[in-house]
Amino acid sequence: MSDSGNKKRRVGIMGGTFDPIHIGHLILAECAYEQFQLETVQFMPSGNPPHKTDREGGATDEERLEMVSLAIRDNPHFSLDAEEMRRNGFSYTSDTLVALRKSHPDTDYYFIIGADSLLSFESWREPEVISRNCVLLAAARDQISVSAMEEKMTELRRRYGAEIHLLRTPNIDISSTNLRCWRQEGRSLRYYVPDAVLSYMKQKGVYQDRIL
Ligand code: ATP
Ligand code: MG
């Protein structure tokens, strides 16, 4: 999708439920910023993702938003885009990207995903539309091998003409699901989430006394 000799803005998108945001998300975004010379990375908490309608015991939209905001506030090249959350109903990445490209034709978008999202990419809504409207950056996760990722990337390039690159990151073996469970069990999340996020969780009782 990027045209040659382009002077377009290079903007990363870190989409997710962020329930809660954790160091995995933050490290991915920072690596993408650094390795792909991005101007900024926009964190985009999803409204009501079709595959996560059962997040019982999860944080409210407002809490997820606030946790993202607290987590990124010290990083000048990170920002928060709450557009998907404001929209009613399900939010689809393809719709979001089409809308973004329409309102910002001067910008190339780099959509950052983990290996689990890469492997399930074809089950996303309109993968061909997503592929046309962003560059995909895929990072290691869940000990998924680089060769399995490369194989999938080759397939997506062939099938959808996707521009897709490997993001070099360590395997960061944590998920929001783990963190929600640990918090329920009273285990410490220190160092897994920024201190400000942890303080907020404690203050609001996020994930405590909620059925998981
Ligand atoms: P959940 O367990 O609730 O699904 P999660 O930790 O997977 O939460 P999401 O908000 O679903 O977080 O993830 C948003 C994006 O970040 C996805 O593309 C996912 O693959 C990626 N991601 C999340 N955590 C990691 C991690 N530890 N390493 C690499 N990628 C990650
Ligand atoms: Mg996930």
Residue 198's CATH number = 3.40.50.620
Q: Kindly state if the Cβ of 113 falls inside 6 Å of ligand 1.
A: yes
**Nearest listed ligand to the Cα of residue 176:** 1
Structural domain includes residue 174:
yes
Structural domain includes residue 110:
yes
User: Tell me, what's the pLDDT at 32?
Assistant: 98
User: Tell me, what's the pLDDT at 89?
Assistant: 62
Structural domain includes residue 171:
yes
Task: Decide: 11 and 42 in contact? Cβ < 8 Å.
Answer: yes
User: Tell me, what's the pLDDT at 77?
Assistant: 98
Q: Which domain holds residue 39?
A: 9-204
pLDDT in tens, the chain (212 residues): 555 556 899 999 999 999 999 999 999 999 999 999 999 999 999 986 566 655 667 999 999 999 999 999 999 999 999 988 877 666 789 999 999 999 999 999 999 999 999 999 999 999 999 999 999 999 999 999 999 999 999 999 999 999 999 999 999 999 999 999 999 999 999 999 999 999 999 999 999 876 55
Distance between Cα 190 and ligand 1 center (Å): 18
Give strand pairing partners of 190: 193
Q: How many domains does the chain have?
A: 1
Ligand 1 pocket test target in 18, 21, 25, 113 with most atoms within 8 Å of CB: 25
Q: Kindly state if the Cβ of 16 falls inside 6 Å of ligand 1.
A: yes
Structural domain includes residue 123:
yes
Give the residue, by CA position, lying nearest to ligand 1 atom 19. Answer: 114
Q: Which atom of ligand 1 is nearest to the CA of 178?
A: 2
**204 phi and psi angles, rounded to 5 deg:** -95, -5
Structural domain includes residue 212:
no
Task: Decide: 183 and 24 in contact? Cβ < 8 Å.
Answer: no
End-to-end CA distance of the chain: give it in Å, rounded.
Answer: 41
CA 52 from chain centre, in angstroms, equals 14
Q: How far, CA to CA in Å, does 60 sit from each of 51, 63, 71, 207?
A: 17, 5, 16, 10
User: Tell me, what's the pLDDT at 211?
Assistant: 54
Q: Kindly state if the Cβ of 20 falls inside 6 Å of ligand 1.
A: no
Please tell me whether residue 210 adopts helix, strand or coil conformation: coil
DSSP character string of 4-68: TT---EEEEEEEE--TT--HHHHHHHHHHHHHTT-SEEEEEE-SS-GGGTT-TT---HHHHHHHH
User: Tell me, what's the pLDDT at 87?
Assistant: 72
Q: Which atom of ligand 1 is nearest to the CA of 140?
A: 29
Structural domain includes residue 4:
no
Name the DSSP letter for residue 122: G
Structural domain includes residue 210:
no
Structural domain includes residue 164:
yes
